[in-house]
Amino acid sequence: MVAMSEEMKRYFEELERRAEEIYQIAQKARSKGYDPEEYVEIPRAEDLATRVEELTGVKGIAGRIRELTAKHGDRGMVSILIAKEIAGRYEDKKEALDKAVRVGLAVLTEGILVAPLEGIADIKLKNNPDGTKYVSMYYAGPIRGAGGTAQALSVLIADAVRRELGIGRYQPTPEEIERYKEEIQLYDRRKHLQYRPSDKEIETVVKNSPICIDGEGTETFEVSGYRDLERIEGNRVRSGMCLVLAEGVIQKAKKIKGYVEKLNIDGWDWIAQLIPEEKSSSKETKSSKYIEDIVAGRPVFAYPSRPGGFRHRYGRCRAGGLATISVSPATMHVLNRFIAIGTQLKTEKPGKAGGMTSCDSIEGPIVLLKNGALVQINTLEEAMQVYDPDNGIDEIEEIVDVGEILVPYGEFNENNYPLLPASYTVEWWVQEAQKAGFDGEITDARTAFEVSEKYGIPLHPDYNLFWHDLTPGRINELSEYVLEHAAWHDEKLLISRSESIKRTLVELGALHTETEDGYLLDRYAYPLIRGLGLDVRDDKLVRVRSSSADEPVKLVSELSGITIMPRAPSRIGTRMGRPEKAAERKMKKQTINLLFPVGSEVGNRRLLTDALDKKPISVEVGERRCPRCRTITHMLHCPKCGTRTEYTGKVMEVKVSVRELIEGAEERLGVHVDWDIKGVKKMMSTEHLPEPVEKGILRGKHEVYVFKDGTIRFDMSDITLTHFRPAEVGLSLEKAKELGYTHDYLGAPLVSEEQVLELKVQDILLPMRAREYLYRVAGYVDDLLEKYYGIPRFYNLDSPDDLIGHLVIGLAPHTSAGVLGRVVGFTEANVGFAHPFFHAAKRRNCDGDEDSVMLLLNALIDFSRKFLPSTRGGLMDAPLVLTTRIDPSEIDKEALNVDVGSQYPLEFYYATLRKAKPKEVEEYIDFVKKRVGTPKQYEGFAFTHDTRDINRGVLRSAYKVLGSMNDKIQSQLELAIKIRAVDEHDMATRIISHHFIPDIMGNLKKYGTQKFRCSKCNAKFRRMPLGGVCPKCGGKILLTVYPNSVKKYLDRAMQMATNFNVPDYVRQRVEILRDSIATIMADEPEEEEKDKITLDDFFS
37 domain residue, yes or no: no
Q: What is the mean pLDDT of residues 138-161?
A: 93
Return all residues near 901 (Cβ < 8 A) that are at least 6 apart: 925, 926, 927, 942, 944
CA atoms within 13 A on the CB side of 36: 22
Quick check: is 29 in a domain? no
Highest-pLDDT range among 258-262, 957-961, 1019-1023: 957-961
What DSSP state is assigned to residue 310? Answer: E
The band of 285, judged by pLDDT with boundaries at 50, 70 and 90, is: low
* Residue 261 and residue 348 in one domain: no
CB-count burial class (<10 Å; 0-12, 13-18, 19+) for 797: middle
**Do 528 and 556 contact (CB within 8 A), yes or no?**
no
pLDDT per residue over 736-774, tens digit each? 999 999 999 999 999 999 999 999 999 999 999 999 999
pLDDT digits (tens, 9 = 90+) for 273-282: 998 876 554 4
- Percent of the chain beyond pLDDT 70? 97
Identify whether the C-beta of residue 696 lies closer than 8 Å to the C-beta of residue 780. no
| Residue of 22, 54, 142, 18 lying closest to 882 (CA atoms) | 54
Residues 117 and 253 in one domain: yes
Q: Express each pLDDT in 806-857 by its tens digit.
A: 999 999 998 999 999 999 999 999 999 999 999 999 999 999 999 999 999 9
Q: Are residues 507 and 594 in the same domain?
A: no
CB 901 within 8 A of CB 930: no
* Out of 15-24, 83-92, 96-105, 1015-1024, least confident range: 1015-1024
pLDDT at residue 87 tops 80: yes
For residue 819, the SS3 value is strand
271 near 205, Cβ under 8 Å? no
Largest CA distance in the chain: 112
Over its C-alpha atoms, the chain yields an Rg (Å, rounded) of 33
Cα–Cα distance, 347 to 344 (Å, whole number): 9
Q: Judging by DSSP bridges, how do beta strands 817-827 and 757-758 pair with one another?
A: unpaired
The least confident of 401-415, 610-624, 836-850 is 610-624
Residue 421 neighbours by CB distance under 10 Å: 18
- The average confidence (pLDDT) of the chain is 93
Q: What is the pLDDT of residue 565?
A: 97
**Structural domains of the chain, count:** 6
596 in the same domain as 516 = no
Whole-number Å distance between alpha carbons of 682 and 10: 47
Residues 85 and 136 in one domain: yes
**Residue 1061 phi, psi dihedral angles, 5° rounding:** 50, 50
Place 1087 in a pLDDT band, splitting at 50, 70 and 90.
Answer: very low
Domain boundary among 507, 539, 567: 567
> pLDDT tier at 1095 (50, 70, 90 boundaries)?
very low
Q: Are residues 404 and 450 in the same domain?
A: no
pLDDT score at 971 = 96
| C-alpha 554 chain-centroid distance | 42
Residue type, 485: H
Say whether both 756 and 673 belong to one domain: no
Establish if 911 belongs to a structural domain. no
Give whichever of 135-144, 215-224, 941-950 has the largest mean pLDDT.
Answer: 941-950
Per-residue pLDDT tens for 309-363? Answer: 999 999 999 999 999 999 999 999 999 999 999 999 999 999 999 999 999 999 9
Residues 852 and 876 in one domain: yes
| Beta-bridge mates of residue 852 | 715, 811
CB 62 within 8 A of CB 50: yes
- Do 303 and 354 fall into the same domain? yes
Domain assignment present for 977: no
Residues 27-41: what's their mean pLDDT? 96
Does 718 map to a domain? yes
Residue 1098's pLDDT band (cuts 50, 70, 90): very low
Coil, strand or helix at 113: strand
CATH number at residue 812: 2.40.40
The last residue of a domain, from among 667, 702, 737: 702
Element of type H or E holding 239: helix 239-243
Q: Please indicate, yes or no, whether residues 344 and 445 belong to a single structural domain of this protein.
A: no
- Whether 12 has a pLDDT exceeding 50, the answer reads yes
Enter the pTM of the model.
0.92
pLDDT tens digit sequence for 974-993: 999 999 999 999 999 999 99
Task: Give yes or no for a cis peptide into 566 (omega within 30° of 0).
Answer: no
Query: Could you tell me the pLDDT band of residue 604, with boundaries at 50, 70 and 90?
Result: confident
Q: Give the structural domain span for 887.
A: 714-892
Amino acid at 420: L
End-of-domain residue from the set 650, 674, 702: 702
Amino acid at 1019: A
pLDDT digits (tens, 9 = 90+) for 289-307: 899 889 999 999 999 999 9
Same domain membership, residue 878 and residue 959: no
Nearest alpha carbon to residue 593 among 673, 680, 666: 680
The DSSP string of 921-967 is GGGG--BHHHHTTSGGGSS----SB--S-TT-S-SS-HHHHS-SHHH
Q: What is the C-alpha to C-alpha distance for residues 716 and 224, in angstroms, rounded to an integer?
A: 43
Is 958 found in the same domain as 1046? no
Contact between 531 and 449 under an 8 Å Cβ cutoff? The reply is no
pLDDT recorded at residue 278: 66
For residue 1088, tell me if it sits in a domain. yes
In a domain, 1085, yes or no: yes
Asked whether residue 944 is assigned to any structural domain, the reply reads no
